[in-house]
Amino acid sequence: MTQCDSSLADLSTQGLGSVQRYANLRRTDSEIFRLLVEQMRAESTTLKMIPSENFASLAVLEATGSILTNKYAEGYPNARYYEGNEIIDRIEQLAIDRVKALFGAEHANVQPYSGSPANQAVYRALLKPGAKFMGMPVPAGGHLTHGWKVNFSGIDYFQIPYGPDPQTGLLDYDQIRDIARRERPQLIWVGATAYPRILEYDKFAEIAREVEAYLVADIAHINGLIVGGVHPDPVPHCDVVTSTCHKLLRGPRAGFILCRVEDRYREKYHPEDSSTLAKRIDRAVFPGLQGGPHVNVIAAMAVAFKEASTEEYRQYARQVVRNCRRLAEKLLEKGYQLASGGTDNHLLLMDFRHTPHTGKEVAKALARAGIICNFNMVPGDPRKPFVTSGVRLGTPAITSMGMKEPEMDLIASWIDTVCRNLDDPDRVVGRIRQEVAELCLRFPPPGYVSVE
């Protein structure tokens, strides 16, 4: 063990006090317990900067691991296929009511197991196999389920791609309108996993209305920013909105769907079905795609929705954006290129297209220094998806730890030091790894101080 490794081992035990929370796991399965402790120590001494990761609250974790794991509840509130669900009905209805109030939606389904199944339910409810839709490809910053060729969405349906301009990194709404007019899609997805700018739902809505296409927003990455008022709200403009709960909302790993009750295009696309849009969405989730819902997860979702309804959470969402903008500003000052020239939200994309180093090289070097991010395609990327020219960094998790602008300045300096030593990262990563661990001990994440 090197001196640095020894110092990190010492640091990783500070604050991990002795409690009984995991006593049963420790007694029953010591191997899993030890691995859990290792992961907690790793995450409590590194900067979690993957934009899609965050820290759930202790209340969310407790609900997720509760006795509700034991209950089967196929169906919906007051329409179950098993008896003994009176209390479960109240739990699910509470989650539904809270998420509808949080986003101002007419209807909500909280049963999707995650974001991808939620998106799959939308396809099943709105499109027939082979139907044409518009979506942003993965290399352009979109999601697998928006039509990527290896995903069901690109296999069962026909994607018409659109994306940011390779030079500016920005969406061109006139170009998107031209594509829609030419192709006449039945559905348009608006959403991204690696687009650092505001999405203008009102402009997408104008385009969708003109070509009579369903407009569906995937807000898995930015839902908390919408709640915090630092990103436009898609609900007034879209027929359907899908999301996860485990990113900015700091909830359990789950998905949900919001939608209008009535279907404005039923006569055009579904004349044989008199159902409302809300009923078709519900049927697509169950029994169309899933069986029994994960009741423990739905309870944890209800907790997360309650936490997100507070002013404290709204302040958190605003700080996420302030932190990301500050980080972007400092990286730009140090001479780095960022996709689109900066950020309006929770993430940024460092652009290494014009350097000899790949995104994968940079991400691995940063991880060795304790800065956990991911390599990612950038608009116009000449490299292959397994190496890429970009690095994606986000601020949701480190903001949950309580970090603010001064810490962003420090993180930018560490990133700069690593990137300037990519030909020989061993010169700097050990020192920075130690400094990162020391910083993290001042900002312990929730739930990571309960094991020894």
Grouping H, G, I as helix, E, B as strand and the rest as coil, residue 73 is: coil
Contact 123, 250 (CB under 8 A): no
Alpha helices in 264-310, H assignment, sequence order: 266-269, 277-283, 295-308
Rounded CA-CA distance 231/320 in Å is 12
Grouping H, G, I as helix, E, B as strand and the rest as coil, residue 313 is: helix
- Catalytic residue, chosen from 247, 280, 326, 353, is 247
Rounded CA-CA distance 398/55 in Å is 9
Partners of residue 107 on adjacent β-strands: 259
Contact 374, 381 (CB under 8 A): no
Packing angle between helix 405-419 and helix 359-368, nearest 10 degrees? 120
Nearest to 320 by CA among 374, 376, 260, 247: 247
Contact 47, 280 (CB under 8 A): no
- Catalytic residue, chosen from 177, 253, 306, 334, is 253
Provide, for the chain, the percentages of residues in helix, strand and coil under a 3-state DSSP scheme, each rounded to the nearest 5.
45, 10, 40
Rounded CA-CA distance 428/29 in Å is 38
Partners of residue 51 on adjacent β-strands: none
Catalytic annotation present for 253: yes
- Catalytic residue, chosen from 62, 74, 165, 200, is 74
**CA-based torsion, 176, 182, 188, 193: positive or negative:** negative
- Catalytic residue, chosen from 43, 218, 282, 361, is 218
- Catalytic residue, chosen from 22, 71, 72, 329, is 72
Nearest to 286 by CA among 101, 131, 120, 415: 120
Catalytic annotation present for 218: yes
Bridge-based pairing of strands 79-80 and 75-76 is antiparallel
Contact 186, 131 (CB under 8 A): yes
- Catalytic residue, chosen from 244, 343, 358, 388, is 244
Q: Which residues are catalytic?
A: 72, 74, 218, 244, 247, 253
